[in-house]
Chain A
């Protein structure tokens, strides 16, 4: 018998009981689907989905020089954050490529939380510590926290009766400490699906009652448990990048189209010189979104051809369940990356035509009425 060395979240038993299919992912045994990827995907676009994403890593950075450390490590300008605000950012290598993409939470001027990808958590923690020359306290609190993501147009209405926090006071990329089902939690209006929604951080010891309490409360409104499969198809439609596929230690943030999280207004951060030079000279390749022009599906790692020459590969490719098209992301030579340009994807040895399109592939309709 093979002994699994993968870690399990505190909700492993709950996932099993719901009939989830579990797969190894980034060193964790995670639910990939419950009722089916497409069903869960549609539920998130039309009602709600509840994801256990406790595999994500969380680091607390504290002390009088916490901001200095964050500013050195991260490419976006964390000095712009106020208490209770979050920011999408990245950590770069000196050559401008990605160590990881992260979300920074500012609790106070001397207390930040960094949320990192599970696959990078160990590497990130070492990276942060090796650059901590200012004596900020860095603590990995990943194992003590459960992280649930409640996503979808009904997320607000499902969560509101369960918390004392008026959710209307929490704009996108803001958060507050509150009670959720009488459990102390950080309630953050963030997510990885392209829908409105919340991410909830709380003590792993409270996992089961909060998970099942939200599911039960939301079920009448169409809430379903959702797995990593739907999380991937949802984030791709919203063109949210996946580390390890779309960005990694070989792709610069500018090539990936993440210039908007690189703040050259800051005097210093790791990777600044290389990124500034690349900005001035122009990137040689760009991450583009594309649609297949035939019924062929582009999958991760399929080779990409421009004018008959191999020019890279598909970094993420999948059927788009919402748009009923086959979509993907790929790096193309910069001179061949404008909207409308056609190129080819090799699908099992046969070249299929694809076209560069505007992204995100899917953007939700935002209503002006907020409940």
Chain B
């Protein structure tokens, strides 16, 4: 089941907001589409991104895909574990497979994002 406390972008990133900190990763649907993930390229702590900007890349055996910011903010933490164990994104996309934490520029800046229910409908339509 898609966790209800997350917001989703059309590019299949998720965002969990706790206070002014947003945790970002990719959806279960996205990891399934990509297949076995073998490498993730994440930004440096302190980098600032606008909503929609590319913040990194995720590589599966077959392809490389860009990661897009679901909101604006400054990176405060990256998931260092993924360097040695990128497969955590496949195994636990909403938990241990998280990618970055950002200090959100504006916690209200989520109008374009979907709820879990809306996202589930969205991926059904895409198929």
Contacts and interface: CB of A to CB of B under 8 A. Distances in A.
Q: Do A and B come together as binding partners?
A: yes
Contact of A319 (B39, B57, B83): B39
A80 interface: no
Interface stretch (A32-40, A117-125, A213-221, A272-280): A32-40
A229 B83 CA distance: 24
Contacts of B85: none
A319 B64 contact: no
A237 to B, nearest CB: 12
Contact size class for B?
10 to 19
Given A319-B61, A321-B61, A297 B39 contact: yes
Interface in A186-238: 229, 233
Of A39, A297, A299, the most chain B CB neighbours within 10 A belong to: A297
A58 to B, nearest CB: 28
B57 A348 contact: yes
A319 B38 contact: yes
Contacts of B60: 37
Interface string A291-320: 000011101000000000000000000110
Interface residues of A, number: 17
A233 B61 CA distance: 8
A297 B64 contact: yes
B62 to A, nearest CB: 5
Given A229-B61, A233-B61, A36 B35 contact: yes
Interface string B48-70: 00000000010111111000000
B61 A38 contact: yes
B36 interface: yes
Given A229-B62, A297-B64, A299-B64, A38 B36 contact: yes
A139 B59 CA distance: 43
Given A37-B36, A318-B61, 13 more contacts: A32-B62, A33-B35, A37-B61, A229-B35, A229-B61, A229-B62, A295-B39, A297-B38, A297-B39, A297-B64, A318-B62, A319-B39, A348-B57
Interface of A: 32-33, 36-39, 41, 229, 233, 295-297, 299, 318-319, 321, 348
Interface of B: 35-36, 38-39, 57, 59-64, 83
